[in-house]
Chains A and B, each alone.
Chain A
C-alpha cells in the first residue's frame, strides 16, 4: 500500500480485514501419492490414491459407503496407517507422524465430546494437551466461542446439548487449535434437513473466512456440490474423478460418477457415424466437441435441458414419446417418458404452461450442445 493512501482508508481496510477477512496464517496443501490400505487379508479400502489438495481449498471426498472416503480421511488424521504410499501436509512428509503430532484436527461424525468434561474444558482440551498456558487457553476459547457464536453454551454440560449444539462445539473444539487442515467426517449426517442446509451454508462461509484447508467427507452429492471448491468422487478405493462441482456434475468421467451425481438419463451408445451416435432413443446429433470415433460408452442427457415443445429451434434433435408418469414438484414438473421403449426423464420448470397428461404423445427437443459422452 502506498504512502499516499489516507490513514483513515488504511485503518478502514485493516478493520475490514480483521472483521471479515482471513486470519493472517498460511493454509496448508496436502499431497497423497500411491496410497494403499488393506483391512485384513482381502478387504481393499484404498487402491492407489494420488491426490493434491490446494491450500485453503474446501475439498470434498464423495462416494457411497465403503468407497474408501472415510479411510482416506482417517489416514490424513493419522488414525489409520497406509500399507503403502506417502502423505505430505504443508510440504512435510507426515506419513509416519502419529496423530497427536500432526497439525490436523477432526470433526467426528459422532462429535466425540468428552463426557467427563464441561463444554469449556472440551474446547480447551487440544490447547491444554499442546501445553499452552491457562491464560492463552482462556483467551482462545473465548475467541472461538465468539467466532462460532456459542454464547452461553460454553457454561453447559455436554449431556445438556442438542445434536446441533454438539456439532458446533465439536467444530469449535477443532478450530480453536488452528490446525493446518480441518477434517470433517460427515459432520452433518445426524442432523435434520433444515438445520443441515443451514449449517452447510455456515460451514462454507466459515471456511472462506478462515482460509483454512477443509477436507470434508460425505455420501450426499447435493451437500458436496453446495459446499465444495472441488470434489473427488471415490468408488472401490479408487478416485473416479476430481473436479469442481460443475465439472463433476456436467461432465462426469464415467458412468459411475454420472449415476452417483444423480443422473437418470444415461443411455448406451451402440454406433457412431460422424457427428451422430446411435442409442435406443434413435440417432442423435452431438456438438463437435463431443465427437469421437469409438462406438462405446454412454450418452448423458440431463433432464432439465430437454424441451417439451412441438415447435423446436433450428438444429435440435427431435424425439417422440409417450408420457408414462408425472410428478408435480411445485417449482418443476417431472415427466417419465418412453421413447422407442427407452425410459427418459424430462424436467420442466413450472412457468404456468399447460401440463402434459399421462398417455399424451409428446415431442422432446434435445440440443446437441447439451449432450455429453461418458466413458463406460
Chain B
C-alpha cells in the first residue's frame, strides 16, 4: 500500500513538472492566435498577429539575422568540430579528453561573463586593427566557439562506436586518403553530422546573452528584438514570434535526436 502511494506521488510529481515546463509555452502559443490585444481574455482564433509580423521590417530583419547567424555558425562549427572529433579519435590512445574540457570550460562559465569577455576582446581587436567590427561577423565567431565542443563530441562518439578495422578495410580496398574521407568517413558520419548541425542550430537560435554582447547596431536577432520590445510590454505580436521560435527549435531538436539515435547492431 505504501509503495503504491509513493508511486502515485512520483507520478503526480512527474505530471507537475511537465505542467510547469509546457503550460507556459502552451499559453504563449494559444494567445498568439488571440483575435484581440489582451493577455487575459481569449476572444477568438485569428492569424492577425502573424499577419502583422510580416509587415514589420524590424522583425523580418531580426528573423533574417537569426537565420543567417544560426546557419553560417553551424556550418563553420560543423567543419571545425568534425576535424577536432576525428583528431581526438585518431589520437585517442594519447588521452586527449582534456582538450575537449579546455574548449568546454568557457561554455560552462556564466553566459554573461563569456559574452562580456568576448565583447571586450572584439572591441580591443577592433580598436587595434579595424577588423571585427561588432555585427554578424563577431556574433558568428562567438557562436562557433560554443558550438564546436558539441559537434566534436558527437563526431567522436560516433567514431568510437565503429569497428576500428573498418578504417583498415577502406585502406586495404584501394581507397586513397581522399577517397577514404569521401566514401567512408563522411557517409558513415552522415547521421552524426546531421544531428550535430541541428543541435548547433538550436543552440544558436536559443542564445540571447552572448548574442546581445557581441551584436552590432544592425545585427539584432529575434531574441534581441524581443528583449527590446518587451520593455514596452508583452504584445500578442511577441507571442507570435515566440510561437514560431518554439516550433523551429522543437523541430530542429527532434531532427537532431532522430539522427543521433544509437544504431541497431
Q: Which of A124-132, A273-281, A322-330, A355-363 contacts B (4 or more CB under 8 A)?
A: A124-132
Q: Verify B168–A100 contact, CB threshold 8 A.
A: no
Residue B91 is within 8 A (CB to CB) of chain A in the complex: no
Q: A100-B175, A177-B173 known; A114 and B165 CB under 8 Å?
A: no
Q: Verify A112–B264 contact, CB threshold 8 A.
A: no
0/1 string, A162-200, CB within 8 A of B gives 1: 000000000001100100000000000000000000000
Residues in B whose Cβ lies below 8 Å from that of A78? 171-172
Residue B125 is within 8 A (CB to CB) of chain A in the complex: no
Residue B169 is within 8 A (CB to CB) of chain A in the complex: yes
Q: Which of A78-123 contact B (CB under 8 A)?
A: 78-79, 98-101, 104-106, 108-110, 112-117
Q: Verify B171–A177 contact, CB threshold 8 A.
A: no
Residue A159 is within 8 A (CB to CB) of chain B in the complex: yes
CB distance from A213 to the nearest CB of B (A): 16
Residues in B whose Cβ lies below 8 Å from that of A105? 172-173
Q: Verify B175–A116 contact, CB threshold 8 A.
A: no
Q: Verify B187–A112 contact, CB threshold 8 A.
A: no
- Bound-state CA distance A105–B187 (Å) is 22
Residue B14 is within 8 A (CB to CB) of chain A in the complex: no
Residues in B whose Cβ lies below 8 Å from that of A129? 170, 173-176, 179, 183
CB distance from B158 to the nearest CB of A (A): 11
Residue B166 is within 8 A (CB to CB) of chain A in the complex: yes
Residue A224 is within 8 A (CB to CB) of chain B in the complex: no
Residues in B whose Cβ lies below 8 Å from that of A174? 172
Q: Verify A114–B174 contact, CB threshold 8 A.
A: no
CB distance from B246 to the nearest CB of A (A): 34
Q: Verify B163–A112 contact, CB threshold 8 A.
A: yes
Q: Verify A114–B188 contact, CB threshold 8 A.
A: yes
- Bound-state CA distance A112–B165 (Å) is 6
Residue A307 is within 8 A (CB to CB) of chain B in the complex: no
Q: Verify A130–B188 contact, CB threshold 8 A.
A: no
CB distance from A231 to the nearest CB of B (A): 24
0/1 string, B162-204, CB within 8 A of A gives 1: 1101101111111110010001100110100000000000000
Residue A77 is within 8 A (CB to CB) of chain B in the complex: yes
Closest partner residue, chain A, to B186 (CB atom)? A116
Residue B95 is within 8 A (CB to CB) of chain A in the complex: no
Residues in A whose Cβ lies below 8 Å from that of B163? 110, 112
Known: A99-B171, A105-B173; 13 extra A-B contacts, CB below 8 A, are A77-B172, A78-B171, A100-B173, A100-B175, A108-B168, A110-B163, A110-B165, A112-B163, A112-B169, A114-B166, A128-B183, A129-B170, A130-B174
4 cross-chain pairs, A with B, having the tightest CB-CB distances, nearest first? A126-B173, A112-B169, A112-B165, A129-B174
Using a CB–CB distance below 8 Å, which chain B residues touch chain A?
A: 162-163, 165-166, 168-176, 179, 183-184, 187-188, 190, 263-265
Using a CB–CB distance below 8 Å, which chain A residues touch chain B?
A: 77-79, 98-101, 104-106, 108-110, 112-117, 125-126, 128-130, 159, 173-174, 177
25 contacts between A and B (CB under 8 A): A77-B168, A77-B172, A78-B172, A79-B168, A79-B172, A100-B172, A100-B176, A100-B179, A101-B174, A105-B173, A106-B169, A106-B172, A108-B165, A108-B169, A109-B165, A110-B165, A114-B169, A114-B170, A115-B263, A116-B188, A129-B170, A129-B174, A129-B176, A130-B174, A173-B173
